[in-house]
Structure 1
């Protein structure tokens, strides 16, 4: 298994990328390719990233346990 520091850093990157992509995608669906979309996206991302990070700390290990059981 990978060390704790690497896992934590990976979770920061994973949660950041997912928050960016998800807030961008869903705000684009709601607002379309407009100036308002470009103005709203950053604030949605700033709120979503810490939430995504905290949730990934719980869901990540659970997902790895489930995947490990499936692949054994």
Structure 2
């Protein structure tokens, strides 16, 4: 795994764990309150490492599935795009 992929996973899991733990805590606590605000950091501290570990496992599978979906199928290759002729090309 290269540094860019690793850092991307650190940042993405941080953002996702922060928003998901905050939003789900907000929903299940019945709305914004001091109790929700006090419990959110603990929920985030649990969610972030779990999210990071899960992406380390899921990343290769996700990449393989993406490549399989986007790979051109044999015999169904799209025709190469051609540019329309410009007026100054005609002689």
Aligned residue runs from structure 1 range 1-72, under 5 A? 4-31=2-29, 32-72=31-71
Q: Flag the structure with more relative contact order, 1 or 2, with Cα contacts below 8 A and sequence separation at least 6.
A: 1
Rg: which structure is higher?
Answer: 2
Aligned CA-pair RMSD: 1.0
The number of residue pairs the alignment matches comes to 70
Mark the runs of 5 or more structure 2 residues left unpaired by the alignment. Answer: 72-91
Cα distance in 2 between the residues matched to 1:61 and 1:18 = 19
Q: Any runs of at least 4 consecutive aligned residues in structure 1 with deviations exceeding 6 A, and if so which?
A: none
Which is richer in helix?
A: 1
Q: TM-score, normalised by structure 2?
A: 0.73
**Following TM superposition, by how much is the alpha carbon of 1:33 offset from its aligned partner in structure 2, in angstroms?**
0.8
Q: TM-score, normalised by structure 1?
A: 0.90
